[in-house]
Amino acid sequence: MKTIKAKMLLDRPVTEAVLDEAIERGKIRHRSALQATAVTFQEGCITVRFEDGTGVLLPVKHYPEFDGFEAKDYADLKVGLSGTALCNEEKDLHVSIAGMISVSKPLMNMAASVISSRNGRQSSAAKAEAARANGKKGGRPRKVEVIQ
């Protein structure tokens, strides 16, 4: 069995600096996380709205967690867990919004396409330097096939 040493000491005293650092980490996590603000149910679909005004429509037939739900149960759905889950306290239901979205193949394909496009535009300092060096030499060197 492998032993892993804890990287963070839980018994360190809470100072103003430690507290400020924790608050800043929380703000960064909040900005980068999925933040739903509202949920509604209409015509067999759950609509989840986010902080920026966007939303997603999720047909309940794809989610067995909602089998046996009635109109009142859907009306009692709330956004919980800091905007990351849909909750119904009477049914003791807490469903991850990201998990619900990941069930949809078309939504996942679209997300992969958007992420690929965004990542393809990113350039590091090393990439930029290599591109400049290759440009001075007349462009990217051609691949040479080695025949054995």
Host domain of residue 69: 32-118
Neighbours of 63 (CB within 10 A): 16
**Within-domain flag for 54:** yes
CA-to-CA separations, 59 to 15, 34, 47, 104, in angstroms, rounded: 48, 20, 9, 10
Mean pLDDT of the chain: 82
Q: Residue 46 and residue 72: Cα distance in Å, rounded?
A: 14
**Within-domain flag for 109:** yes
- Provide the whole-model pTM: 0.59
Domain containing residue 70: CATH number: 3.30.2020.40
Number of domain units in the chain:
1
**Within-domain flag for 105:** yes
Q: How confident is the model over 60-78, as pLDDT tens digits?
A: 888 888 888 888 888 888 9
Res 55 pLDDT > 70: yes
